Amino acid sequence: MSVARPAGYAGGAGERRLLMLTALAVAIGIGYFAFQELGPSAVYYLTPTEAKERQIAPGTTVRLGGQVEPGLTYDEATRDLRFIITDGVTRVFVLGRGAPPALLREGAGAVVEGVFLNDGTFRASQVIAKHDEVYAPPSPGVTPPHRTP
């Protein structure tokens, strides 16, 4: 059975199209404003400032994203990882366990998942290194990192 083209509407086909286009325009408008309101904080991680503003309670699992400040330390013996994550306004002291990902370095991005402790430090159960979208060859004379195979 061959399906015919959409059944002709008894007048009002143009009206209907106008209605649909209006609905679409309204939808796009609403969506745009909703996005502006929500901002980039929507789903994956909060910046330290956003976490502070929302007063995330100690013990609630949350993800923070930001830049790693100079002063990252990792102790092989105790497997303690310590560093500070910042968004330029708020700094959070992070405690992790286990070797950090190869790309975790000072000045680069990181995303940590875990809980705030009562004293405001963050105990991370997962530490993820974030790298930006810029790719460049190493400067002459510098060998690229050996830890990445």
Which residues of the shown chain bind another protein in the complex (CB under 8 A)?
1-3, 6-10, 16, 20, 23-24, 26-28, 30-31, 33-35, 37-38, 40-47, 54, 60, 65, 100-104, 108, 111, 126-139, 142, 144-149
Q: How far is the CB of 122 from another protein (least distance, A)?
A: 17
**Residue 129 buriedness (CB in 10 A; 0-12 / 13-18 / 19+):** middle
CB nearer to another protein: give 24 or 89: 24
Q: How far is the CB of 127 from another protein (least distance, A)?
A: 7
Q: How far is the CB of 23 from another protein (least distance, A)?
A: 5
CB nearer to another protein: give 53 or 117: 53
CB nearer to another protein: give 55 or 118: 55
**Residue 135 buriedness (CB in 10 A; 0-12 / 13-18 / 19+):** exposed
Q: How far is the CB of 51 from another protein (least distance, A)?
A: 12
